[in-house]
Structure 1
Amino acid sequence: MDLTAPTAALASAAADLVRLVPGKLIDPVLSGVLLTATAAGVQLAASDRERTAAVSAGAVVHTDGQVLVPAKPLAETLRALTAPEVRLVVEGNRLAIRASGARFALPLLDHTLHPGVGSVSGDGGLVSGSAFATALATVASTAARDEALPVFTGVRVRSEGDRLVLRATDRYRMAIASLPWSADGDIDVMVPATLLAEVGKQVAGVGQARLTAAENQFAVSWGRTEVTTAVLDGSYLSETKLALSDVDTRVVVDAESLQAATRRVALYSDARGVVRVEVGDSELRLRATDHNAGEAEESLKATITGGRTSPSYQSRYLLDALRPFTGEVELAIQPGMRATVVTALEPGEVDLRYIIMPMLPPKP
């Protein structure tokens, strides 16, 4: 294999690949990047047997070929280079990385042992890259990170007519995002949230992304990138199983003002980080107290309808619930220890709902 490519483009492709498939350090083959050079350019691919990714880049290929080399050293070397062009050429049992006045060499691994990357054929559709990124920024971060509970570590991706709905929960909160999409079939899969979080970062600047689902497989493709993954069992995940019909208090308040006040008052919260939200006639009063830190309270204007239910929340969950919103939001509060639903007063292209569970108030 022998090729010449723009350094920045090749470095970007390698970096994207490593973030999508971090690799398994205990297996050198699964920690490698499979480089395939053809007349069309060069493809960089990786697999950990559960997920795969392939990223293509433009290159002038002098000699076709395929090699497997350690992924992270390749990505880090390309990122560190300042020369405008780089040459990759096989020299004996090494892949030489040549730039102006410099040479680096990576060991060749046995590419015949690499599982390769496949594609997924099935139903799916197209979504706006920016809208998909906006939805994933909130929903994917709501999933649990505890691998001991794998059913809570995914995002349910489900088509509902002309909308694509994403849902995730860690049992204490749930985020639901709905966005328009152009479908050629229905999909309903549970996708690992860690992968979708990275996908969301990479699709933010692209026009469209295609989602495809088949039995036990899911794929996202955009530009020169395609990612596939095995799916989780998550058909259970639905907000319909939550009691959301007993709302007795509705509060309209500026999201950024409430977020800022919560952040300040939470400095005085107890070990659980609990902040009490007291609902008045035309204001919210946030209170927190801790026997060691002291106490704090702050009021802000709000429009109140219905009752005066005053819940308490873990401050970090309340902050996470408010972070995606700008402008005014509505808090639909239920009495007792029932969930609160946060929504934008004027939804945009991505319709987002954030459901949080209250906490027991701090002891006086």
Structure 2
Amino acid sequence: MKIRLDRDVMAEAVAWAARSLPTRPSLPILAGLLIKASGSGVTMSAFDYETSAEIEVPATVVDEGEALVSGKLLADIARSLPNKPVELTSDESKAELVCGSARFTLQTLPVNEYPNLPEMPAATGAVVSSEFAQAVAQVVVAAGRDELLPVFTGVRLEIEGDKLSLLATDRYRMALKELTWNPANSQASGAALVPAKVLNETAKSMTSGETITMSLSSGSMGDGLIGFEGDGAGGTRQITTRLLDGEFPKVRHLMNITPKLSVRANTAEIIAAVKRVALVAERNTPLRMVINSGDIALEAATGDQAQASEAIEASVENHEGGEPAITAAGFNPHYLSDALSAVDAPFVHFSFTAPGKPCLVTGLDSIDGEPRADYRHVIMLMRLPN
């Protein structure tokens, strides 16, 4: 194999593909990055039997062929090269990279032992890349991180015609985002549970192009595979990953909260106040929101060592009259901060029912407007000490 390509194109392509390499590969061969040169250009691929990544970039192909080299090492080298054209040649035992006066020789890995990448399923539909990236970012904050409970580490994608829904929960909070997309079949419907980490990295890495094509395996996700394809600055990018097994909990009904008490406030003001007050919050203790008639007060403490409180102007509405259903609520400060940051609206709306019950957080375009329906975030309230 012998190829010539632009330094920046190579550096970006290698860095993108190498992101999917396993940190601790189960087999040494899986630490390799596969480089294939053909008449149409050069592809670089990574695969760990769960997730595959492949990028195609323009290059001058002198001799067609393929080589398998250490992905991490090649990424480090590509990042440090001078701004000059790169020439890469390989034979059965080694690969040589030349860029200006810089020259590197790498031992190659046996290509015939490298697993075949899974084929991309048929396209299911396309979505605007920037909208998809924002939707994923809003939802993944609620996904679990405990690998012992894998079903909670995923994002459930639900397709119903031209509506695409993303749902995640770690049992203590839930996030739901709904957006429109362009399905290949207007009658399409189905669901898939995608690893949240892979979905997040994929969405962020494919914002260069206008759209992302999503491909689900046929037969109600029969063989458990999902693929994403998009155009980047360097070339076409493809990612596939295996879907998670298990039954995703039925939590959608928790989004349909009829509030007994509503609180509206400026999002930026409450985010800043939460960050300040949470500085003194003792671990595993709630940040208290005290609800008054025209404001809310955020309070936290670490025993007798430190206390903090801050009042914020708010619009408070008691929907049932008489005594308010709730006068104080206990939030996990990290969950509250995540939810507020994900709302992405100038004002925020809290819907309360009773102490210790779930609280629905939604966005508002104006303090007097209707809550947005496209993004909903539910937080399980913590019990407050007497």
Instruction: State whether TM-score is above 0.5.
Output: yes
* Deviation at residue 247 of structure 1 after TM alignment: 2.1
C-alpha contact (below 8 Å) 2:362/2:372 kept by paired residues? no
Which residue identity lines up with residue 140 of structure 1 in the other structure?
V
* Deviation at residue 240 of structure 1 after TM alignment: 2.7
**Which residue is equivalent to 1:358?**
381
Select between 297-306 and 24-33 the one with higher mean Cα deviation. 24-33
1:43 corresponds to 2:51: no
User: So what's the TM-score if we normalise by structure 2?
Assistant: 0.89
**Which residue is equivalent to 2:201?**
198
1:189 corresponds to 2:212: no
**Which residue is equivalent to 1:106?**
106
User: How far apart in 1 are the matches of 2:372 and 2:9?
Assistant: 32
**Which residue is equivalent to 1:283?**
295
User: How far apart in 2 are the matches of 1:204 and 1:308?
Assistant: 45
C-alpha contact (below 8 Å) 1:154/1:191 kept by paired residues? yes
1:13-47 Cα distance to aligned partner (Å, 9 max, x none): 11111113435434221111111001111000111
1:53-81 Cα distance to aligned partner (Å, 9 max, x none): 11111110000001111111011100111
| CA separation of 1:106 and 1:292: change in aligned 2, threshold 3 A | farther
**Which residue is equivalent to 2:61?**
61
Which residue identity lines up with residue 66 of structure 1 in the other structure?
E
C-alpha contact (below 8 Å) 2:121/2:226 kept by paired residues? no
**Which residue is equivalent to 1:295?**
307
- Name structure 2 gaps, 5 residues minimum: 319-323
1:322 corresponds to 2:345: no
User: How far apart in 1 are the matches of 2:33 and 2:213?
Assistant: 24
**Which residue is equivalent to 2:77?**
77
C-alpha contact (below 8 Å) 1:86/1:97 kept by paired residues? yes
C-alpha contact (below 8 Å) 2:359/2:378 kept by paired residues? yes
**Which residue is equivalent to 1:120?**
120
C-alpha contact (below 8 Å) 2:255/2:376 kept by paired residues? no
SS in structure 1 at match of 2:112: helix
1:68-122 Cα distance to aligned partner (Å, 9 max, x none): 1111101110011123211110156111111111111111111111112122324
1:217 corresponds to 2:225: yes
**Which residue is equivalent to 1:264?**
276
**Which residue is equivalent to 2:146?**
146
User: How far apart in 1 are the matches of 2:307 and 2:39?
Assistant: 68
C-alpha contact (below 8 Å) 1:265/1:296 kept by paired residues? yes
**Which residue is equivalent to 1:226?**
238
C-alpha contact (below 8 Å) 1:46/1:52 kept by paired residues? yes
Which residue identity lines up with residue 381 of structure 2 in the other structure?
P
* Deviation at residue 271 of structure 1 after TM alignment: 2.4
User: So what's the TM-score if we normalise by structure 1?
Assistant: 0.94
| CA separation of 1:21 and 1:40: change in aligned 2, threshold 3 A | same
User: How far apart in 2 are the matches of 1:204 and 1:350?
Assistant: 25
| CA separation of 1:340 and 1:318: change in aligned 2, threshold 3 A | same
SS in structure 2 at match of 1:77: helix
1:344 corresponds to 2:363: yes
Which residue identity lines up with residue 206 of structure 1 in the other structure?
G
C-alpha contact (below 8 Å) 1:67/1:108 kept by paired residues? yes
1:145-179 Cα distance to aligned partner (Å, 9 max, x none): 11111111111011133221111111111111111
C-alpha contact (below 8 Å) 1:124/1:186 kept by paired residues? no
C-alpha contact (below 8 Å) 1:36/1:65 kept by paired residues? yes
User: How far apart in 2 are the matches of 1:97 and 1:349?
Assistant: 54
C-alpha contact (below 8 Å) 2:25/2:48 kept by paired residues? no
* Deviation at residue 241 of structure 1 after TM alignment: 4.5
User: How far apart in 1 are the matches of 2:178 and 2:129?
Assistant: 14
1:274-295 Cα distance to aligned partner (Å, 9 max, x none): 2111111111111112224322
* Deviation at residue 138 of structure 1 after TM alignment: 2.3
**Which residue is equivalent to 1:9?**
9
1:252 corresponds to 2:264: yes
C-alpha contact (below 8 Å) 1:41/1:58 kept by paired residues? yes
Which residue identity lines up with residue 334 of structure 1 in the other structure?
T
| CA separation of 1:10 and 1:97: change in aligned 2, threshold 3 A | same
| CA separation of 1:166 and 1:303: change in aligned 2, threshold 3 A | same
- Name structure 1 gaps, 5 residues minimum: none
Task: Indicate the percent of aligned positions where both proteins have the same amino acid.
Answer: 30
Which residue identity lines up with residue 296 of structure 2 in the other structure?
L
Select between 114-123 and 31-40 the one with higher mean Cα deviation. 114-123
SS in structure 2 at match of 1:232: coil
SS in structure 2 at match of 1:29: helix
C-alpha contact (below 8 Å) 1:29/1:114 kept by paired residues? yes
| CA separation of 1:322 and 1:44: change in aligned 2, threshold 3 A | same
Which residue identity lines up with residue 10 of structure 1 in the other structure?
M
SS in structure 2 at match of 1:196: helix
